[in-house]
Amino acid sequence: MTKPIFNARTADKFVVRLPDGMRKRIEDLANDNYTSMNTEIIRAIEAHLEGQARQKLLLEALEAKLRSELQATSKPAKKVQEANIDYLDGLKTGTR
């Protein structure tokens, strides 16, 4: 099996402005791990995106559970459950 050839010249690129001190932190991490700064940045982005996807799945599962429980609750408890669902919607959309 041959490894695909990576061409840095044709790879997708994006310029990022880093806050003060972050470049040094990334550089130190890359040196400690014997990798490039680019590798460490990509790993961090991938970990963040995976975490976001996992969070979305967990929120959707929690919302589904709350909605199913809402069907079996009394009227006063429904108000609380509806507020919880609204709160979860805010978490999913980033407004909370």
pLDDT of residue 9: 82
Residue-wise pLDDT tens digits, 37-64: 999 999 999 999 999 999 999 988 988 8
* Vertex 29 angle, CA 24 and 35, to 5°: 115
Q: Where are the domains of the chain?
A: 22-93
Mean pLDDT of 19-48: 97
Q: How far apart are the first and last CA of the chain?
A: 48
Residue-wise pLDDT tens digits, 76-93: 677 777 777 787 777 877
Strand intervals (E) in 1-96: none
Task: Say which residue, 72 or 38, is predicted with more confidence.
Answer: 38
Which pTM value belongs to this model?
A: 0.64
pLDDT of 8 > 90? The answer is no
